[in-house]
C-alpha cells in the first residue's frame, strides 16, 4: 500500500530504524528495490529526481508506482520527489501521484546559486502550505551539500556550486535548523555535514574533519522530534568499484560514507538515507561484466537480469544494516 513519508518516518522514529531512499529511473530499479523489500519485510522509499522524471515520463512513473503497489500489496511504499527545485515541480509531482516531495531551497531554481535564508524559508513554506492540504509530506534542506576537503559546495548536477565556501557555510547550523523547521513546518529536514552526491565524496576514508556527524548529533539534541535526512549517503563500496574497473571501467580511487557513520546517524534522528550512486554502480558493474565476457551477447535481459540482481543484493544489505528489515508488517 501507499504510505506518506510522514507516516513512515514517524514509525521509524518510534522504533529506532532508518529507511534507505533509493532513486529510480526505470522498471529494473523499481523491481530490484521491491524484490529486496519483499525478501527482508521492509517498507520502501522510492524517489525520482527531476532528471528521472524527464527520462522516464511522469505518466510512466505513475503507472510504475501503481504497478509495484499492486504486485507487492503488503509492502508500504512511499513515492518521493527528490530535489524539487521550485514550487511548481513539487505541485506537478503531487499531481503525478507522489505522496511526498522535497523542496530543495538550499539552492535557487538554477541549481547553482545558494538559496539565502528568506528564499529557502519562503519557497519551502509555500510548498508545505499547499502539500499539507492534500496530506502530502515535505522534505526541506538547510545547508549546502559539498566537500569540506575542497570547500566546494555542490550544485544539483553534482558539480560545483558557485565559489569556495567556508566550513560554516557548508554545514547546517543547529540553531538555524530549529528556526527553519518552526518556520517552514517541514516533515523531514535534510542537513549538510560534509557529504556530496556522486562517487567522489572523499579522497580517503573519511574522519570527523570531513564528515561532521557531530553536526547531526547537535541538531538532533535541539530537534529531537524532527526526522533528519542524509543526502549523498552512498558507501561507494570497493568491490563495486573493482568490478567496474575489472571490465573496462575507469572509476578513480574514492571513498563514500561508511555504514557505521550512517548507523551513528540513525541513532541520532536520521530516518531517511538517500542512495543513488551505489545502485548505479551495482548495475553498471554487471552490465560491463556480461558484455565483456560475452561480446556477442545482445539480448538485453542477459545483462539487465544480473544487473537487477546486483541492485537487489545491495538494497537488501542496506535494509538490514539500517534496521529497516522486519518492519513492513509492523506498520
Ligand atoms: O540528487 C542526486 C540524485 O542522485 C539524482 O541524480 O539528478 O542525476 O537523477 P540525477
Ligand atoms: P549518492 O550520490 O551518494 O547516492 O546520493 C544520492 C542522493 O542524495 C539523492 O538525493
Ligand atoms: Na530527497
Ligand atoms: Zn540528494
- Which amino acid residue places its CA nearest to atom 5 of ligand 1? 49
Per-residue pLDDT reduced to its tens digit, 3-42? 999 999 999 999 999 999 999 999 999 999 999 999 999 9
Please say if the pLDDT value at position 160 is more than 90.
no
Per-residue pLDDT reduced to its tens digit, 58-74? 999 999 999 999 999 99
| Per-residue confidence band for 79, with pLDDT thresholds at 50, 70 and 90 | very high
Distance of CA 330 to the CA centre of its chain: 23
- Cα gap 81→156, rounded to integer Å: 14
Please say if the pLDDT value at position 294 is more than 60.
yes
Residue pair 29/281 in contact (Cβ under 8 Å)? The answer is: no
The rounded mean pLDDT for the chain is 95
- Which amino acid residue places its CA nearest to atom 10 of ligand 1? 51
Check residue 238 and give its pLDDT.
98
- Cα gap 125→184, rounded to integer Å: 4
- Cα gap 315→30, rounded to integer Å: 11
The Å distance, Cα 272 to ligand 2 centre, comes to 11
**What single string gives the DSSP state of each residue in 43-91?**
-EEEEE-HHHHHHH-HHHHHHHHHHHHHH-TTS-EEEEEEEE-SHHHHH
Q: Please work out whether the CB of residue 218 comes within 6 Å of at least one atom of ligand 2.
A: no
Q: Which run of H or E residues covers position 220? A: helix 213-222
| Per-residue confidence band for 46, with pLDDT thresholds at 50, 70 and 90 | very high
The Å distance, Cα 26 to ligand 2 centre, comes to 17
Q: Nearest Cα to 124, choosing from 169, 86, 82? A: 86
Q: What percent of the chain has pLDDT over 70?
A: 97
Check residue 166 and give its pLDDT.
78
- Cα gap 101→120, rounded to integer Å: 15
Query: What is the number of the ligand closest to the CA of 22?
Result: 2
| Mean pLDDT of the 181-195 span | 97
Q: Is 82 part of the annotated catalytic residue set? A: yes
Per-residue pLDDT reduced to its tens digit, 206-257? 999 999 999 999 999 999 999 999 999 999 999 999 999 999 999 999 999 9
Check residue 210 and give its pLDDT.
93
Q: What are phi and psi of 83, to 5 degrees?
A: 55, 55
Q: What percent of the chain has pLDDT over 90?
A: 91
Check residue 316 and give its pLDDT.
99
Q: What angle do CA 218, 200, 56 make, to 5 degrees?
A: 95
- 110 or 156: whose pLDDT is higher? 110
This prediction has a pTM of 0.97
Residue pair 59/35 in contact (Cβ under 8 Å)? The answer is: no
Residue pair 2/61 in contact (Cβ under 8 Å)? The answer is: no
Please say if the pLDDT value at position 48 is more than 80.
yes
Provide the 8-state DSSP code for 172.
Answer: P
| Per-residue confidence band for 162, with pLDDT thresholds at 50, 70 and 90 | low
| Per-residue confidence band for 170, with pLDDT thresholds at 50, 70 and 90 | confident
Check residue 156 and give its pLDDT.
47
Check residue 112 and give its pLDDT.
83
Amino acid at each position: 500500500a501507499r504510505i506518506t513519508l510522514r507516516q513512515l518516518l514517524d514509525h521509524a522514529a518510534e522504533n529506532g530504524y532508518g529507511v534507505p531512499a533509493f532513486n529510480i529511473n526505470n522498471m529494473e530499479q523499481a523491481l530490484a528495490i521491491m524484490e529486496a523489500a519483499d525478501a527482508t519485510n521492509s517498507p520502501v522509499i522510492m524517489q525520482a529526481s527531476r532528471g528521472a522524471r524527464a527520462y522516464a515520463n511522469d505518466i510512466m512513473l505513475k503507472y510504475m508506482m501503481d504497478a509495484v503497489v499492486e504486485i507487492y500489496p503488503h509492502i508500504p511504499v512511499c513515492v518521493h520527489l527528490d530535489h524539487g527545485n521550485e514550487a511548481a515541480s513539487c505541485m506537478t509531482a503531487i499531481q503525478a501521484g507522489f505522496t511526498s516531495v522535497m523542496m530543495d531551497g538550499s539552492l535557487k531554481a538554477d541549481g547553482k546559486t545558494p538559496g539565502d535564508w528568506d528564499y529557502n524559508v519562503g519557497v519551502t513554506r509555500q510548498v508545505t502550505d499547499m502539500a499539507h492540504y492534500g496530506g502530502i509530506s515535505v522534505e526541506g534542506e538547510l545547508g549546502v551539500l559539498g566537500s569540506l576537503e575542497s570547500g566546494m559546495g555542490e550544485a544539483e548536477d553534482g558539480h560545483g556550486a558557485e565559489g569556495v565556501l567556508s566550513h560554516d557555510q557548508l554545514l547546517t547550523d543547529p540553531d538555524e535548523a530549529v528556526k527553519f523547521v518552526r518556520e517552514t513546518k517541514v516533515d523531514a529536514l535534510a542537513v549538510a555535514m560534509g557529504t556530496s552526491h556522486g562517487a567522489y565524496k572523499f579522497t580517503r576514508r573519511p574522519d570527523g574533519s570531513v564528515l561532521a556527524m557531530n553536526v547531526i548529533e547537535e541538531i538532533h539534541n535541539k530537534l529531537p522530534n524532527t526526522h533528519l535526512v542524509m543526502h549523498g549517503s552512498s558507501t561507494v563500496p570497493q568491490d563495486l568499484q573493482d568490478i567496474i574497473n575489472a571490465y573496462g571501467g575507469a572509476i578513480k580511487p574514492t571513498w563514500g560514507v561508511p555504514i557505521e557513520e550512517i548507523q551513528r546517524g540513525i541513532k541520532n534522528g536520521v530516518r531517511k538515507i538517500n542512495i543513488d550512486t551505489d545502485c548505479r554502480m551495482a548495475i553498471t558493474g554487471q552490465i560491463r561484466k556480461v558484455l565483456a565476457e560475452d561480446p556477442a551477447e545482445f539480448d538485453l535481459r542477459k545483462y539487465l537480469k544480473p544487473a537487477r540482481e546486483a541492485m537487489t543484493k545491495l538494497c537488501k544489505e542496506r535494509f538490514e544494516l539500517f534496521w529497516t528489515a522486519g518492519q513492513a508488517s509492523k506498520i
